[in-house]
Amino acid sequence: MDLTLTEEHNNIKEAAREFAQRVLKPGVIERDTKGEYPVEGVRQMKEMGFIGMTVSEKYGGGGMDMISYVLVMEEISKIDSSSSVILSAHNSLVCWGIEAFGSEDQKQRYLTKLATGDYMGAFCLSEPEAGSDATSQKTMATDQGDHYLLNGTKNWITNGSTADIYVVIAQTDIEKGHRGINAFIVEADSQGVSTGPKEDKLGIRSSDTCSVMFQDVKVPKENRIGPDGFGFKYAMKTLDGGRIGIASQALGIAAGAYELALAYSHERKSFGKPINQHQAVAFKLADMMVDIECARLLTLTAAKQKDLSLPYSLMAAMAKLKTSEVAMKHTVEAVQIHGGYGFVKEYHVERLMRDAKITQIYEGTSEIQKLVIARSIMKK
Ligand code: CAA
């Protein structure tokens, strides 16, 4: 598969890198400490066209391919993964599904605003008792003729309190199992919608994560996405693409930690020479580079498969599994290379290490990725 980057790809990568350094880097430590939402960063991501970058131009988006998306996600995640998850949840989990499976009316009413960032979106699947086991939805959408009545609680929702619209996965007919699940577009200002307090997290501390509660919320019939009973498959297909987004986030975290460790290893001297002249450090840097390059190839391959409309579910799961493991392993190594300095906030690597952990958990834990991969192997 040809993964050569075009001039356009290189330009967007450079623009994202420059943006992350100029806009997101100042204040990233303070936002992380305070758990403060990156208001200005998100405003400027809208101006840069990153919010809604994967939506086609027909609906007012950037019309960019998945390779561009991976490059932008990687560069932003090197500096600020809280900002990149906001971007990823919006593009991968909300915009893509509506464009792929929504009605023309839904696209005109919602996607056009999501594409420009006038609306932010959140994807509501996880529940207090339904995380990995996504078929065990307790949130109910009861058919009332011209509308559904939605009741339930969703947990760990990225963009939970800042979103203007939610894509909510809910049970409509418990007897039918996964075929009795549907996906709905719910306006955040609908009567009966409320949000919990912002979660106080280990990492990605400045992104907005909270519970979203629905109590007797009227959802118009025309806001159901796709045919009756399509909601579980909708969620699975959406997560396949989401996993490419999280893989690129993990890639950025790993590559960011590597860049910092490499730079530090040139500056810091011990026993009379730069620390990278000691094999103990040089070998760590070599391992980092190899693993990051493997992770990058998997992630770009999954993106390319999606761009070419080839099946990408397996490659996305492999990319997410590998990159998140690489991110976790090598952010720990980057801290180690920094020694005591790595343990303090000023040097950034401790934050990257904390941020890495969530990439092994959300949009399917590492164990879920292995399940998807193993099932695919058994089918062959
Ligand atoms: N694409 C299309 N259809 C799919 C599919 C896919 N990728 N995966 C499964 N399906 C279909 C199956 O074909 C099957 O359909 P049929 O019965 O018609 O054949 C149906 O869905 C049920 O499939 P399974 O029997 O495989 O379902 P399962 O209950 O065993 O679950 C699972 C499979 C992989 C474990 C799935 O539940 C899963 O991915 N769980 C993890 C959920 C997850 O990622 N949660 C994270 C929440 S989102 C988040 O983190 C958001 C955020 O804010 C960042």
- Do the Cβ atoms of 290 and 283 come closer than 8 Å? no
Of the candidates 203, 200, 132, the residue with the CA atom closest to the CA atom of residue 357? 203
Q: How far is the CA of 364 from the centre of ligand 1 (A)?
A: 9
User: For position 134, what pLDDT does the model report?
Assistant: 81
Residue 373 CB less than 6 A away from ligand 1: no
User: For position 102, what pLDDT does the model report?
Assistant: 98
Instruction: Give the CA-trace dihedral at 255, 250, 201, 257, to 10 degrees.
Output: -10
Report the C-alpha gap between 377 and 373 in whole angstroms: 6
Q: How far is the CA of 212 from the centre of ligand 1 (A)?
A: 21
Write down the mean pLDDT value for the chain: 97
Residue type present at position 289: M
Q: 66-79 and 279-307 helices cross at what angle (nearest 10)?
A: 150
User: For position 159, what pLDDT does the model report?
Assistant: 98
User: For position 124, what pLDDT does the model report?
Assistant: 98
Residue 127 CB less than 6 A away from ligand 1: no
User: Could you tell me which residues are beta bridge partners of residue 220?
Assistant: 147
Structure-token pair, residue 190: 């609908």
Q: How far is the CA of 127 from the centre of ligand 1 (A)?
A: 15
User: For position 330, what pLDDT does the model report?
Assistant: 98
Structure-token pair, residue 258: 């590597």
User: 18, 47, 363, 367: which one is catalytic?
Assistant: 363
- Do the Cβ atoms of 365 and 373 come closer than 8 Å? no
Q: DSSP assignment of 245-304, as one string?
A: HHHHHHHHHHHHHHHHHHHHHHH-EETTEEGGGSHHHHHHHHHHHHHHHHHHHHHHHHHH
Report the C-alpha gap between 188 and 207 in whole angstroms: 18
User: For position 133, what pLDDT does the model report?
Assistant: 85
pLDDT in tens, 122-160: 999 999 888 788 888 899 999 999 999 999 999 999 999
Q: How far is the CA of 119 from the centre of ligand 1 (A)?
A: 27
Give the three-class secondary structure for 14.
Answer: helix
Closest atom of ligand 1 to 243 CA is 44
Q: How far is the CA of 302 from the centre of ligand 1 (A)?
A: 18
User: For position 379, what pLDDT does the model report?
Assistant: 85
User: Could you tell me which residues are beta bridge partners of residue 121?
Assistant: 165
Across the chain, the runs of DSSP E, i.e. the strands, are 121-124, 140-143, 147-158, 165-171, 181-187, 193-195, 209-220, 224-225, 269-270, 273-274
Q: How far is the CA of 181 from the centre of ligand 1 (A)?
A: 12
Residue 94 CB less than 6 A away from ligand 1: no
Nearest CA to ligand 1 atom 12: 233
pLDDT in tens, 66-97: 999 999 999 999 999 999 999 999 999 999 99
pLDDT band (50, 70, 90) for residue 229: very high
Residue tagged 């969703």 (tokens)? 154
User: For position 288, what pLDDT does the model report?
Assistant: 98
Residue 17 CB less than 6 A away from ligand 1: no
Closest atom of ligand 1 to 135 CA is 29
Residue 290 has pLDDT above 90, yes or no: yes
Residue 50 CB less than 6 A away from ligand 1: no
User: For position 155, what pLDDT does the model report?
Assistant: 96
User: For position 325, what pLDDT does the model report?
Assistant: 98
Helices (H) and strands (E) in the chain, counts: 13, 10
Question: What's the start-to-end Cα distance of the chain, in Å?
Answer: 21
Residue 12 has pLDDT above 80, yes or no: yes
Half-sphere exposure of 93 (CA within 13 A, CB side): 32
Residue 380 has pLDDT above 80, yes or no: no
Residue 317 CB less than 6 A away from ligand 1: no
Q: Rg (Cα) of the chain, in Å, rounded?
A: 21
User: For position 59, what pLDDT does the model report?
Assistant: 98
- Centroid of chain to Cα 339: 30
Q: DSSP assignment of 135-148, as one string?
A: T----EEEE-SSEE
pLDDT in tens, 18-62: 999 999 999 999 999 999 999 999 999 999 999 999 999 999 999
pLDDT in tens, 174-208: 999 999 999 999 999 999 999 999 999 999 999 99
Residue 135 CB less than 6 A away from ligand 1: yes
pLDDT band (50, 70, 90) for residue 272: very high
Of the candidates 8, 7, 45, the residue with the CA atom closest to the CA atom of residue 24? 45
Residue 285 CB less than 6 A away from ligand 1: no
pLDDT in tens, 322-371: 999 999 999 999 999 999 999 999 999 999 999 999 999 999 999 999 99
Nearest CA to ligand 1 atom 29: 135
76-91 per-residue burial string, b: 16 or more CB within 10 A, e: under 16: bbbbbbbbbbbbbbbb
- pTM value is 0.97
Asked about 363 being catalytic, the answer comes back as yes
| Phi/psi of residue 140, nearest 5 degrees | -110, 135
